[in-house]
């Protein structure tokens, strides 16, 4: 069994991150399974809505850095993480996310491409890209400032400031905050409501909602990836990953 589970029920495809012992940290294999789940849902007429959530006590701790070090992007035509992002960005069907516990890195940036996002009141969202010597991805450098303004986006992306569920709601990242035990039922109820609506009209509405700024988003996604690819070999990133694996505080003072 893989670390991603899917279940189709009443036209709603539940896509579940299922690696609770590692807080659903994402490996290359998991990214591939996630991409395939979204791609297949798009092609399956029985699927009208997708719901993304995590098993255990967290949504996702983001990239599994051990797996990331063992399977670097270099040499991969399309890294699995980018395939997953492309699948979600290009999805024509509605995607709902249910977020609880830790949501780290791509666990936050992917929410910007979901149509509805619900958070448990114990959710903590953080994007520590700069801390790893890289830059944010998934078009977040365009979408976050557009959503909340430059200064608030800088707080999240440059300071890597953790955000509570309530703060995420105030910033416009999530639709509602609920008790942890109410999260999945609430998200499923909304998914069911969407699944019962005219599917063609929903897809057309989503397309129109997403159309503004689409070219700029595509540019940002491409450019972010180029900068990440360049920075992955940088002394800063090497120090950040070494410090993580050696369980010590990184020293960036030595770099200019």
pLDDT digits (tens, 9 = 90+) for 43-54: 999 999 999 999
For the segment 99-121, the average pLDDT, to the nearest whole number, is 98
Evaluate whether residue 195 is within a structural domain: no
Evaluate whether residue 125 is within a structural domain: yes
Cβ proximity of 252 and 241 under 8 Å: no
Q: For residue 126, what are the β-bridge partners?
A: 104
The pair of structure tokens assigned to 58 is 């967290």
Range of the domain at 71: 4-178
Evaluate whether residue 76 is within a structural domain: yes
Match 């007429």 to its residue by tokens.
45
Laid out side by side, the sheet with 116-120 consists of 4-9, 12-17, 49-54, 95-99, 116-120, 176-178
| pTM of the predicted model as reported, rounded to 2 decimal places | 0.96
| CATH code (residue 17) | 3.90.226.10
Q: How confident is the model at residue 148 (pLDDT cuts 50, 70, 90)?
A: very high
The upper half-sphere exposure of residue 194, i.e. CA atoms within 13 Å in the direction of its Cβ, equals 24
Domains contained in the chain, number: 1
Closest CA to 228 of 9, 81, 88, 62: 81
Evaluate whether residue 239 is within a structural domain: no
Name, in order, each residue with C-beta under 8 angstroms of 127's C-beta and a sequence gap of 6 or more.
Answer: 104, 105, 108, 109, 136, 140, 156, 157, 160
Three-class secondary structure of residue 119 per DSSP: strand
Evaluate whether residue 240 is within a structural domain: no
pLDDT digits (tens, 9 = 90+) for 188-241: 999 999 999 999 999 999 999 999 889 999 999 999 999 998 998 899 999 998
Closest CA to 207 of 120, 94, 131, 101: 94
């Amino acid at each position: 069994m893989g670390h991603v589970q899917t279940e189709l029920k009443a036209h709603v495809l539940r896509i579940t991150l299922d690696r609770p012992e590692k807080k659903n940290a994402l490996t290359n294999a998991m990214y591939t399974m996630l991409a395939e789940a979204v791609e297949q849902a798009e092609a399956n007429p029985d699927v009208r809505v997708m719901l993304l959530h995590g098993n255990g006590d967290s949504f996702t701790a983001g990239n599994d850095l051990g797996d990331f070090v063992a399977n670097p992007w270099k040499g991969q035509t399309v890294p699995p993480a980018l395939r997953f992002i492309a699948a979600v960005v290009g999805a024509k069907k509605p995607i709902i996310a249910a977020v609880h516990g830790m949501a780290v890195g791509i666990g936050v940036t992917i929410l910007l491409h979901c149509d509805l996002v619900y958070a448990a009141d114990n959710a903590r969202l953080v994007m520590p890209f700069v801390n790893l010597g890289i830059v944010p991805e998934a078009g977040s450098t365009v979408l976050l400032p557009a959503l909340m303004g430059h200064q608030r986006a800088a707080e999240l992306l440059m300071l890597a400031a953790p955000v509570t569920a309530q703060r995420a709601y105030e910033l416009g990242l999530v639709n509602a905050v609920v008790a942890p035990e109410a999260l999945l039922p609430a998200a499923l109820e909304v998914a069911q409501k969407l699944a019962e609506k005219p599917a063609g009209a929903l897809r057309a509405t989503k397309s129109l909602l997403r159309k503004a700024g689409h070219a700029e988003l595509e540019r940002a996604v491409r450019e972010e990836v180029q900068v990440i690819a360049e920075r992955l070999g940088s002394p800063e990133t090497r120090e950040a990953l070494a410090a993580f694996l050696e369980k010590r505080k990184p020293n960036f003072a030595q770099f200019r």
